[in-house]
Amino acid sequence: MGSREDTTKLVKLASLKIESGVGGRGGGGGGRILGGGGGGRWRGGVQRKGLISSFMQRGGRGDGDDEMEEEEAPTHLNTSTCGHFLVITTDKLCAKYTGEGLHGNDVGVIQGNQAAPCHRLLYYFEITVKDRGLKGYIGIGFTDEHFRNSRQPGWEPNSYGYHGDDGKLYHGQGKGHVFGPTFTTGDTVGAGINYASQEIFFTKNGKMVGATFKDVKTALYPTIGLHSPNEKVEVNFGQRQFVYDVEALVQEERERRHRAVENVHLPPSASHSIVRAYLLHYGYHDTLAAFDAASGGSFPPVVCTPHEDGNNGTLDDDTFALDQRKVLRRLARDGDVDSVFAKLREWYPQQLQQEHDSNIIFLLHCQKFIELVKSGMLEGAVTYARTELAHFFGASLDQDLHLQDCLALLAYERPQESPMAYLLHFGQREVVADAVNAFVLATNPCLPASGKSPQSGLEKLLRQLTACHVEKRLLNGGQGEVFSLHRILQGGKDGGW
């Protein structure tokens, strides 16, 4: 092989040919394949629809799941919309009442500068009463964006308030009900939203006071109200440690949810059946045989119909072409792409011809290119990119993005240390093996009649789990912790708060 400089020239020639769309199906030209630092658009947890994305997730480096960006949390009081009769310190964390408090509309109300973040398990903030003032008419709670700044939190619709002078809880009207103790100078009072239980809760001096059902589904702002001379409070939005142990509440809520899950009754053989079905679906024939042997005959043995005349002849889509899928998986895991192609042409020539422009052909060609790079055969990889990969340029956005990542391997002196190094890992071979397995399962002539999609029972359960969490959040107005299947499978928490 020539010098690295010669290889770099070949890379540029290959990229120019692909950029120009030579041999491509998408017409003249498109985005620069080797540009932009190597195609980072695929990784970083971004999922894309289609066959490629569904198989790429297994081998990629991203976080998986469509997680939302971190929401901005309140950091200070919003002086632009606060009520009259208030003086706010320059750091916007202290408020003092300067009115006389003679009328019901003489309240000084101020909200946080942001709504409480709702894509988390819970939200919490505190106030410390520096001076109870003349009558201690101090309220803490949550209000919506349309709340009038001349009314105490809890006196109007879509608001909740815990008041210090009488210890009552107010929600949507000027008449409260008995709730907790009063609070005065020196006390620290907190208010929070538990999105998991759909409750508004309040604390005093580090202890839980109580909670009320949260029936407001719109965004809520942390709010304080002052209503008698010289009342003064300081707000803590998390810039310092809370008096109440909110982390313990988070842990308690997680444990409560885990107990609820663990208390769901399942048949003793459920997990065994799920694992067995997974091995069967993905063609791990030898492992399946060992698994059945270890079960002591609890399940009937797997009987595979041999391949005959291009038709594997079994009506059971779980055991369909199991022998062939076993062989193809082994070859793909070994990185022997040429043999995978040969077997597919031998066993499924008609389906392969019909799928000439499909993602499976594309993924196999990409994997062949990756194996060449992995073996250090850079000139061969460049030639292969010219003769095979260039034909796929412009076919779809997903394919273009994956091509960009593959070709970017050539731009690095040590591709195994590059952002595209995940393509060189064994997990990427598993991605291709899964894709080939799905291709074979999709050729089952009984599949359309049965109405079953080529997915394992475990995958269907995980999809259903994700769908249930999404539906639950929708019922709660889109509020609550965003479910991350990826974190669950990696053994992490459901998510931070």
Residue 497 has pLDDT above 90, yes or no: no
**pLDDT score of 433:** 93
**pLDDT score of 250:** 93
Residue 80 has pLDDT above 80, yes or no: yes
**pLDDT score of 301:** 53
**pLDDT score of 194:** 95
Residue 42 has pLDDT above 70, yes or no: no
Tokens of 453: 């999609």
Average model confidence (pLDDT) for the chain? 81
**pLDDT score of 249:** 95
pLDDT digits (tens, 9 = 90+) for 145-185: 999 989 999 999 999 999 999 999 999 988 999 999 999 99
Task: Point out the least confidently predicted range of 119-128, 167-176, 459-468.
Answer: 459-468
**pLDDT score of 5:** 54
**pLDDT score of 8:** 52
**pLDDT score of 340:** 95
Question: What domains are defined for the chain?
Answer: 4-66+303-455 (no CATH), 86-236 (2.60.120.920)
Nearest residue to 289 (alpha-carbon basis) of 317, 319, 269, 313? 319
Name the pLDDT band for 88 (thresholds 50, 70, 90): very high
Name the pLDDT band for 225 (thresholds 50, 70, 90): very high
